[in-house]
Amino acid sequence: MDTPAPQNPNAAPAPSTTVPADKQQVAAQWDEWKSHQRLTGPDAKPDFANPAQMNHFIWYQTHEWTQPYPGEDKIFAPEDVPGAYIPSSESDD
């Protein structure tokens, strides 16, 4: 029989799934963005998501949508993340 270990009292609490009221709209934009990434399932693909956006998304979730990404003064929507635009390697320039 497999018996789980007791809860570590020094462990950090699991992040809350509650999004502050003033951040619900931007969190919904991130949920929509996430639905277009290949994060899980049979179509999962490593490194499919834009790294700048993925870093921001993880930060926002980890900090319960209350803290901007380090060095920034607000929480950005996915399309507004600095560095999110990566031009195609296919270019006539």
Give 13-63 pLDDT, tens digit per residue.
776 678 999 999 999 999 999 998 888 888 888 888 889 999 999 999 999
Q: For residues 52 and 76, is the Cβ–Cβ distance under 8 A?
A: no
Domain-wise residue ranges, the chain: 21-80
Q: Select from 59, 57, 62 the least CA-distant residue to 17.
A: 62
Please determine, for residue 93, whether its predicted confidence score (pLDDT) is greater than 60: no
pTM of the entire predicted model: 0.74
pLDDT of residue 7: 84
Please determine, for residue 83, whether its predicted confidence score (pLDDT) is greater than 80: yes
Please determine, for residue 85, whether its predicted confidence score (pLDDT) is greater than 60: yes
